[in-house]
Each structure stands twice: as C-alpha cells, then as structure tokens.
A and B are shown apart, each in its own frame.
Chain A
C-alpha cells in the first residue's frame, strides 16, 4: 500500500518543491531577508496565502493588509480540515494537533481521492509529512539562491502555482456539472471585482457562485 502512495505523492512533492523554490526566490529577490520566507513556510505553511502576503508586503501594501489577505485566503482551510476530520480523529491529541498543521489544498485533495478509510489515513500522513518537507526545503533553496536567480519571471515560475491548482481541480470540474457552474460564475465574479477591491476579497466573493449549486442533481 505504501509504495504506490509514495510514488504518487512524490509527484505532488516535486511540484510543490518547485513552487516553494519560486516562493523563496521571489521573496528574496523582492528585498525580504532569507529568514522571512523560511519562517513563514515553517509556521504558516500555506502556499497561496504566503504568496499573497509577501506580494502585498513587496507591493508596499502594509502589514495589516498582508495579514488580512493571507487570513482571508486561509479561511478555506477550515472547510478542508472538516473534510478530513475523520482521518485526523481517533488518534492521540498530539497527532491531531500535528495533523491539523498539515492540512493543505494538495494533501486534502490527495487524501479524498483514496478509496477507503485505511488508505485515506495513510495517504494523509505520507503525503502531508512529505509535502511539508518538500515545501520547506524548496523555499530554503529558493531563498538562498534568490538573488543569484535574478528576475524569477524569466523562468516562468509565476505560471506554476495557477497550474498546480488547475491540475488539482480539473478532475472535479470534469465530473461534477453543479460545481463547475458555481466555479465558473465564482471565478468570473472574482475577476470582475479584482481591480476594485483589496487582494484576498475577490476570491471570497467567488463563494457567491454557490447560488448556482441548486438543490438536486439536474434540478438547476
């Protein structure tokens, strides 16, 4: 059971490591000291919120806007932690507290894709611990190499993170027409308001797309 889990997880780790390198490099290239992306990755450990918070900081948006943006983006981890609560439950208090820190978009998606409870539990820990290691090693490497890399846009790394999300949500969008309708409306709303509202708000407004969810399959 473990070998295929590790093999499939390794792909997620590699991708996240690459994104981590870009996070470290972008932060340092923007003028932040090396410890900022490294500490953030260890204790915040939420890729998109880290990118947004650092983006706001580097754009001169101020600490309050940076923290608010990151927190707004991370409200979704509450929904994600509920989705894997059964996997985290039933173990020691320490395991639950540790496991909660490992709740990320990628690990939750990977865990929920497993067919039975035993595999789900194994998948959560294998994928989650490996992802934590890969992300933090990637960020450290990127931060140390940051100034040497120069302008990271040259490597197209800014396109990597949206691509990670595409790969994660595509299977659901393919098979579930109700969620697809909601997601398309939500994304259109978010794009429409982006020029007018603070960072982080567009994504939350996208939740209005859920009005298209409807009550029953095929009813809407």
Chain B
C-alpha cells in the first residue's frame, strides 16, 4: 500500500508543478508569438494522440471493436454538433449495446 501512496504523492506534486508553470512565468517571461502558437498546437496534438490511443488500444494491444465503434458514434455526434453529454453518453451507449450484442 505504501507504493500506492508514493504513486499518488509523486503524481500530485509533479502535476501541480507543471500547472504552476503558467502562473509562475506569467509577467516575467514574454514568449514569442511563434512559441505560443506551437504550444497551443502541441496541446491539440497531445489530445488527439491521447484519444486515438485511448480509443484503439488497451495495454499495448488492440482494444477490440466495441470501444472504437462507440467512440466513432461519439465522433459523429460531435461532428453534427450534438451537446457534450449526448456525445459522451452516445459513445458509451453504443459500446455497451455492441457488447450486449456479443461484439468484444
């Protein structure tokens, strides 16, 4: 259990340090526009990579068909500008229905 406590504390302290970067640097360091642009692009690139790996993989392998199919339903709903909860519940519902129908 001590190891779990250590994981939580290291994660908490490290994450908070990352979050302080903005407030700590604000007003002291002027970032060039080019760098700011790249920072916001980097944020989106990270999020898309996170969603792609999260939708398709599990423990280094393929996550099965139900999850990516569910995410795809969520994606279509988002594309059609459905409200946020509809997107999320649509994705979960579709994955659940496919699993209930026997698809892994």
Contact = CB atoms under 8 A, between A and B. Distances in A.
A79 B71 contact: no
Main secondary structure of the interface of B (DSSP, over half): helix
A66 interface: yes
Contacts of A76: 18, 42-43, 46-47
A2 B88 CA distance: 25
Given A156-B95, A158-B95, A165 B15 contact: no
Main secondary structure of the interface of A (DSSP, over half): helix
A103 B19 contact: yes
A169 B12 contact: no
Contacts of B46: 76, 79, 186, 203-204, 206-207
Interface residues of B, number: 72
A203 B51 CA distance: 9
A219 interface: no
Contacts of A39: 8
A71 interface: yes
Contacts of B87: 15, 163-164, 166-167
A209 B41 CA distance: 10
Contacts of B56: 191
Contacts of A204: 46
A37 B28 CA distance: 37
A173 to B, nearest CB: 7
Interface in A80-104: 80-86, 88-89, 96-97, 99-101, 103
A93 B90 CA distance: 42
A67 B6 contact: yes
A158 B92 CA distance: 7
Contact of A43 (B3, B4, B8, B48): B8
A163 B44 contact: no
Contacts of B32: none
A78 B72 CA distance: 30
A189 B15 CA distance: 25
Identify the 4 closest CB pairs spanning chains A and B, nearest first: A81-B22, A156-B95, A163-B74, A159-B70
Interface of B: 3-4, 6-12, 14-16, 18-23, 25-27, 31, 36, 38-57, 59-61, 63, 66-67, 70-71, 74-75, 78-79, 83-85, 87-100
18 contacts: A15-B85, A40-B8, A44-B12, A48-B50, A70-B7, A74-B14, A81-B18, A81-B23, A156-B67, A159-B71, A163-B88, A165-B54, A183-B44, A183-B45, A183-B48, A194-B57, A202-B53, A210-B42
